[in-house]
Amino acid sequence: MLVSHRHQFIFVKTLKTGGTSVEGYFERWCMPEGAWVPSHTREMHISEAGIVGERAGSRPNPPEWWNHMPAEMIRDRVGPQTWESYFKFSVVRNPYDQMVSLFYFKNRELAGSTFDGSHPAAFMEWLRTVEAPNSASLCSVDGRLALDFLIRYERLHDDLQTVCARVGVPWDRQWLPEYKRGLRPPQAQVAAMYGPEARAIADRLLAEELDRLGYTFPG
């Protein structure tokens, strides 16, 4: 999560949506001039410029601010005046695609293996054991979506350009880091991973998330 007092924005970070890359792009405007250096991990940073939540830091105890803080908790901590006046945004992704990404993130031993029928089969069994992604919940206050803009992963660069224009920072595609890439084989597209049974499981699992975020099965 990010708070920029310099540019008056708040970023809520969701899971497996490219959120770490987006966080890495905008966090330079949440620190004093000259303080930011690129890093995949980040200790909590609080200054007059803003707040950067801890991301895979070394702190033994939970920090006051961390990467996947829910919007409702951020609202409570920054206060209603800041929450209402700042531009609030996040990133969301088609939940069917998001689940494939999460599967490979949780089963990293598959990243270097040959893609074959065992991957969709393992994915289907994994779907039976997990909870739905919580992007809509993370972005909600009092049970309702509470942000000003949702970047869609499917049009990431265009939506990032829109956000940059809104908060008054430059857009440069070369500044966008590519974190957590390489775990998912290129063949592991949605159409290849979801057979009829996996699709039926996912339809039930993802129903609320699909409805709240306005997604359907890709294709």
Instruction: Give the CATH number for residue 91.
Output: 3.40.50
User: Does 112 fall in a domain?
Assistant: yes
Supply the pLDDT for residue 75: 98
- Band (58; pLDDT cuts 50, 70, 90): low
Q: What is the mean pLDDT of residues 85-112?
A: 95
Nearest CA to 134 among 2, 4, 55, 19?
Answer: 19
Asked if pLDDT for residue 56 goes beyond 90, the answer is no
Q: Give the chain's length.
A: 219
Share above pLDDT 90 across residues of the chain, in percent, rounded to a whole number: 89
Asked if pLDDT for residue 129 goes beyond 90, the answer is yes
- Per residue in 142-151, pLDDT tens? 999 999 999 9
Domain count, the chain: 1
User: Does 219 fall in a domain?
Assistant: no
Q: What is the mean pLDDT of residues 162-176?
A: 98
User: Does 179 fall in a domain?
Assistant: yes
Q: What is the mean pLDDT of residues 182-201?
A: 94
User: Does 166 fall in a domain?
Assistant: yes
Question: Which residue in the block uniquely carries the two structure tokens 């708040």?
Answer: 10
User: Does 202 fall in a domain?
Assistant: yes
User: Does 196 fall in a domain?
Assistant: yes
Domain that holds residue 116: 2-213
User: Does 60 fall in a domain?
Assistant: yes
Asked if pLDDT for residue 206 goes beyond 90, the answer is yes
Nearest CA to 129 among 66, 57, 205, 195?
Answer: 205
Q: Distances in Å between the alpha carbon of 162 and those of 89, 98, 128, 136, 159?
A: 11, 23, 38, 21, 5
29 touches 7 (CB < 8 A): yes
Asked if pLDDT for residue 112 goes beyond 90, the answer is no
SS3 track for the chain? CEEECCCCEEEECCCCCCHHHHHHHHHHHHCCCCCCCCCCCECCEEECCEEECEECCCCCCCCCCECCCCHHHHHHHHCHHHHHHCEEEEEECCHHHHHHHHHHHHCHHHCCCCCCCHHHHHHHHHHCCCCCCCHHHHCEECCEECCCEEEEHHHHHHHHHHHHHHHCCCCCHHHCCCCCCCCCCCCCCHHHHCCHHHHHHHHHHCHHHHHHHCCCCCC
User: Does 218 fall in a domain?
Assistant: no
Q: What is the mean pLDDT of residues 193-218?
A: 98
